[in-house]
Amino acid sequence: MLGIDPGTRKVGFALVSSENGVPAALGIEPLGTLVPRLRALAQQHAIHAIALGRGTHAQQIAELLAVLGLPIVFVDETDTTYRARALYFADNPPRGWRRLVPLGLQLPPRPIDDYAALLIARRYQKEHEGITA
The pLDDT of residue 130 is 56
The pLDDT of residue 48 is 92
- Report yes or no: 27 and 114 within 8 Å, Cβ to Cβ: yes
The pLDDT of residue 129 is 67
The pLDDT of residue 114 is 97
Dihedral sign of CA atoms 25, 131, 63, 111 in order: negative
Which residues of the chain, if any, have pLDDT below 70?
129-133
- Report yes or no: 47 and 26 within 8 Å, Cβ to Cβ: no
CA distances from 89 to 1, 110, 129 (A): 24, 11, 27
How many helices (H) and strands (E) the chain has is answered by 4, 5
- DSSP H helical segments within 66-112, as ranges? 80-91
The pLDDT of residue 43 is 93
The pLDDT of residue 31 is 94
